[in-house]
Amino acid sequence: MTQLLSPAPSARERGTAAKPADATNTVLLAATIVFLLAASLCVYTAILLVSAAKPGLWTAVLAAVALLLILLGLATAIPLVRGYRAARAGAAALASGDVVSGRRLRFRGANSAWITLGSSLPVSIVSVFVLFLLANNHAVQSTFFDVSFMAKSLGAVSKAFTVNIIIAVIAEVFVLVFGLVIAIARMAPGQAGRPIRWLATTYVDVFRAVPSIIVIYLVGFGLPLANVPILSGMSPMWAAIFALTLTYSAYVAEVYRAGISSIHWSQVSAARSLGLSHGKTLRFVIIPQAFRRVSPPLLNDFIGLQKDTALVTIIGTVDAFTQAKTYASNYFNLSSVTVVAILFILITIPQTRFVDRLLERDEKKQRLQG
Amino acid sequence: MPFLELNNVVKSYGENTVLRGIDLHVDKHEVVCLIGASGCGKSTLLRCVNALESINDGDIRLEDDVVSGEGVDVNALRRKVGIVFQSFNLFPHMSVLGNVTLSPIRVLGVSRADAEEQALALLKRVGLDHKAGAFPDQLSGGQQQRVAIVRALAMNPDVLLLDEITSALDPELVAEVLNIVRDLANDGLTILMATHEMSFAREVSSRVAFLHEGQVLEIGPPEQIFGNPAQERTKEFLKKIIEAGRL
Ligand SMILES: Nc1ncnc2c1ncn2[C@@H]1O[C@H](COP(=O)(O)OP(=O)(O)O)[C@@H](O)[C@H]1O
Ligand SMILES: [Mg+2]
């Protein structure tokens, strides 16, 4: 008993204090090497950048970029320094016999080293990307990122981009409704519902199989060619909306169906037992619950739809991509197309972040409910 | 003439015959308890009465009108027969008031104002009028089950089916739910309930039916079933219940 209580430090304990048996030193060493590599890459890139600049306003801008690059590279040293300091303090604490705070400090030191390692990678990638732009006497940069040409095309391209937005928004509204109709048809009850279920399933199979560019092509050129009444008179923009609605309703119907079948059958029992019919059960109990669950995958499909609006260029709708291509072929420079890409990025990123937020919220809710 | 009759009701799920010729008569204002081992078919029986399951043979009658089989207006039947489930099954996207008023408004065509007034009166009766605006996930199990009972009562059913409504509750919440059932029984509501609460069954029921392997093996007043059961199986079952300290 007394033996157990007496705090006499054993030889082993003292041994540990003298020679820390953890990986902190190794990690610090690795972080130092990687930092040196990344920082020199940054500096090298910055020097190239400044020397490639033609005199004028651009020198100032490029110098600023170069400076930023150097700062980024050097900033990764901050956690490294902190790491060395903590590790040294930790070693000192261990030597003086304070095992707990020694261990804690050395852990902090290793952690800081990992931060340096982690941030060196993106910094290096940025440098490599800049080097890529500068390659071949900065041909890459002037082909894809000719800033003055981008500025020149920006006006016309973004004006044409409203066509993409209009097509996307109108198609999305149609898809929301038509997709639900198909999903409900796929779940038509009973024997009488079988042909309807079959029809809806065929629709979904077909339109998920056919690439949307082909649907757009067939609708845009085929309907006028076949002189289909009413439909053949559609403008290319409406043809695009029609085609995208056909394709994406099939996807969204599947999303709805997954959402609806994820609602526990006991909810149907409860609703039916209260005298609600099949239709009213769907309308008041099942679909409202399903709607909440499907919003993330629904938004994902909508992002896909928005991107596919660029395909309408093949039927002669003057959208942002068509407009940018005109510029590109007139000036032998693709930077106007880069502008379109950037516009798509700008509208898509907020939506993807929003989806992430929704998913996070659902996850939290589910964790709360156990 | 009995109010609710099950005559030789047979129900199978594929190969598995769950109800093997159930005969059961419930008079108006009677409280009949179904007891029996788990899996003997209590829930299935109740779901058949409510037409949530179709039956394979026999018939079910309500006030001498056949309510099973083809051509029956199941929605009309369900207006007269309420059911409360073990797992509450409240609609999570609706407030308590929304849950209770949904079917009076959408099925009976009651105006929203009237439905809400009636709902609040019923909620008050079970001590939950202050939770009218709450959502199911903000309520305890006992409170959720009380709301589920009120939701069934809002349709003014002639008979109430209760399927082990306290089995999913923590022990300290059981009483608040059973008190409501006791009140309803005292008011003369016709009740058919599956339960494992033997002392409650003994107290409130007019008759107790012991189900075994899909048949009513023995039925009679609670004193007889609990005090002097005729069947060996019933004795065995009750012995196990007593051993578990549930009687
Ligand atoms: N939907 C179903 N499909 C197939 N078998 C079922 C279904 N529901 C219940 N059963 C079976 O019927 C039997 C009786 O179940 P149940 O009525 O729930 O019993 P109890 O409520 O008395 O515990 C069980 O063997 C169960 O496996
Ligand atoms: Mg059961």
Confidence at residue A55, expressed as pLDDT on a 0 to 100 scale = 67
pLDDT at A37 exceeding the cut of 60: yes
Any atom of ligand 1 within 6 Å of the Cβ of B99: no
pLDDT in tens, B25-61: 999 999 999 999 999 999 999 999 999 999 999 999 9
**In a 10 Å sphere around its CB, with 0-12 CB exposed, 13-18 middle and 19+ buried, how is residue A162 labelled?**
exposed
Two tokens, residue A35: 């930092």
Any atom of ligand 1 within 6 Å of the Cβ of B39: yes
**Backbone torsions φ then ψ of B11, nearest 5 degrees:** -140, 125
Q: Which among B10, B12, B20, B43 is the best mutation to test ligand 1's pocket, defined by most ligand atoms within 8 Å of the CB?
A: B43
B50 touches chain A (CB under 8 A): yes
pLDDT in tens, A161-217: 999 999 999 999 999 999 999 999 998 888 999 999 999 999 999 999 999 999 999
Instruction: Give the residue with greater pLDDT, A221 vs A3.
Output: A221
**In a 10 Å sphere around its CB, with 0-12 CB exposed, 13-18 middle and 19+ buried, how is residue A65 labelled?**
middle
Tell me which residue has tokens 């929605």. Answer: B75
- How many domains is chain B built from? 1
Confidence at residue A340, expressed as pLDDT on a 0 to 100 scale = 94
pLDDT at A48 exceeding the cut of 90: no
Identity of the residue in A269, A273, A276 whose CB atom sits nearest the CB atom of B106: A276
What does the angle CA A288 – CA A183 – CA A175 come to, to the nearest 5 degrees?
85
List B13's β-bridge partners, or say none.
Answer: B16
A270 touches chain B (CB under 8 A): yes
Confidence at residue A21, expressed as pLDDT on a 0 to 100 scale = 57
| pLDDT range class, residue A242, cuts 50, 70, 90 | very high
Protein residues placing their CB within 5 Å of the ion ligand 2: B 43
Contact yes or no for B76 and A369 at CB 8 A: no
Mean residue pLDDT across chain A: 87
Confidence at residue A277, expressed as pLDDT on a 0 to 100 scale = 93
In angstroms, the separation between the Cα of residue A169 and the nearest Cα of chain B is 28
**Domain of B190: which CATH number?**
3.40.50.300
Confidence at residue A369, expressed as pLDDT on a 0 to 100 scale = 62
Confidence at residue B19, expressed as pLDDT on a 0 to 100 scale = 96
**Which residues in chain B have their CB less than 8 angstroms from residue A289's CB?**
91-93
| Residues B68-92, mean pLDDT to the nearest whole number | 92
What 8-state DSSP symbol labels residue A248? Answer: H
Task: Give a yes or no: residue B129 inside a domain.
Answer: no
Instruction: Give the residue with greater pLDDT, A17 vs B238.
Output: B238
Which ligand 1 atom is the nearest neighbour of the CA of B45? 17
Confidence at residue A362, expressed as pLDDT on a 0 to 100 scale = 78
Residue type, A53: A
Task: Give a yes or no: residue B32 inside a domain.
Answer: yes
Which residue is closest to B103 within chain A, CA to CA?
Answer: A274
pLDDT in tens, B148-179: 999 999 999 999 999 999 999 998 899 999 99
Confidence at residue A49, expressed as pLDDT on a 0 to 100 scale = 83
Domain spanning A149-368: which CATH class is it, in words?
A: mainly alpha
Which residue is closest to A287 within chain B, CA to CA?
Answer: B93
Span from the CA of B167 to the centroid of ligand 2 (angstroms):
9
| Residues B131-157, mean pLDDT to the nearest whole number | 95
**In a 10 Å sphere around its CB, with 0-12 CB exposed, 13-18 middle and 19+ buried, how is residue A234 labelled?**
middle
Two tokens, residue B123: 């909620």
| Residues A4-20, mean pLDDT to the nearest whole number | 48
What DSSP string runs through B66-104? E-SSTT--HHHHHHHEEEE-TT----TTS-HHHHHHHHI
Name which residue sits closest to atom 8 of ligand 1, judged by CA: B44
| Residues B214-222, mean pLDDT to the nearest whole number | 95
Task: Give a yes or no: residue B17 inside a domain.
Answer: yes
Confidence at residue A17, expressed as pLDDT on a 0 to 100 scale = 46
pLDDT in tens, A283-340: 999 999 998 889 889 999 999 999 999 999 999 888 999 999 999 999 888 989 999 9
pLDDT in tens, A340-361: 999 999 999 999 898 888 888 8
Share of residues in chain B with pLDDT > 70 (%): 99
Give the containing element (helix H, strand E) for A286.
none
Mean residue pLDDT across chain B: 94
User: Would residue A56 be called left, alpha or beta, if left means φ above 0 and alpha means ψ between -120 and 50 degrees?
Assistant: left
Task: Give a yes or no: residue B109 inside a domain.
Answer: no
Rounded-to-integer distance, Cα A228 and Cα A14, Å = 92
Sign, Cα dihedral of A302, A303, A304, A307: positive
Contact yes or no for A273 and B50 at CB 8 A: yes
Domain spans of chain A, in order of start: 2-144, 149-368
Two tokens, residue A263: 């609602």
- Interface confidence, given as ipTM, is 0.93
Span from the CA of B39 to the centroid of ligand 2 (angstroms):
7
Confidence at residue A15, expressed as pLDDT on a 0 to 100 scale = 46
**Which residues in chain B have their CB less than 8 angstroms from residue A284's CB?**
102, 106
Q: For residue B4, which of B217, B220, B201, B191 has the smallest C-alpha distance?
A: B191
Any atom of ligand 1 within 6 Å of the Cβ of B43: yes
B17 touches chain A (CB under 8 A): no
What 8-state DSSP symbol labels residue B136? Answer: G
Confidence at residue B115, expressed as pLDDT on a 0 to 100 scale = 97
**Mutation for testing the B interface, residue in A268, A273, A284 having most B CBs under 10 Å:** A273
Q: For residue A109, which of A69, A79, A73 has the smallest C-alpha distance?
A: A79
Task: Give a yes or no: residue B20 inside a domain.
Answer: yes
CB pairs below 8 Å between A and B: how many?
Answer: 57
Two tokens, residue A324: 């940018």
**Backbone torsions φ then ψ of B21, nearest 5 degrees:** 85, 70
Confidence at residue A339, expressed as pLDDT on a 0 to 100 scale = 93
Contact yes or no for B78 and A275 at CB 8 A: yes
Looking only at the bridges linking them, the beta strands covering B207-212 and B215-220 are antiparallel
Any atom of ligand 1 within 6 Å of the Cβ of B195: no
In angstroms, the separation between the Cα of residue B228 and the nearest Cα of chain A is 37
Confidence at residue A285, expressed as pLDDT on a 0 to 100 scale = 96
Which ligand 1 atom is the nearest neighbour of the CA of B211? 22
Rounded-to-integer distance, Cα B46 and Cα B53, Å = 9
Instruction: Give the residue with greater pLDDT, A158 vs A230.
Output: A158
Span from the CA of B47 to the centroid of ligand 1 (angstroms):
10
Residue type, A355: V
Confidence at residue A18, expressed as pLDDT on a 0 to 100 scale = 47
Task: Give a yes or no: residue B133 inside a domain.
Answer: no
Domain, as residue range, for B197 = 4-91+159-243
Three-state SS across A91-142? HHHHHCCCHHHHHHHHHHHHHHHHHHHHHHHHHHHHHHHHHHHHHHHHHHHH
Confidence at residue A135, expressed as pLDDT on a 0 to 100 scale = 81
Contact yes or no for B78 and A266 at CB 8 A: no
Contact yes or no for A284 and B102 at CB 8 A: yes
Confidence at residue A12, expressed as pLDDT on a 0 to 100 scale = 47
Task: Give a yes or no: residue B224 inside a domain.
Answer: yes
| Radius of gyration for the alpha carbons in chain B, expressed in angstroms and rounded | 18
Confidence at residue A293, expressed as pLDDT on a 0 to 100 scale = 85
Span from the CA of B190 to the centroid of ligand 2 (angstroms):
20
pLDDT at A68 exceeding the cut of 50: yes
Number of helical (H) and strand (E) elements in chain B, helices listed first: 9, 10
Inter-residue contact B149 to B193 (CB < 8 Å)? no
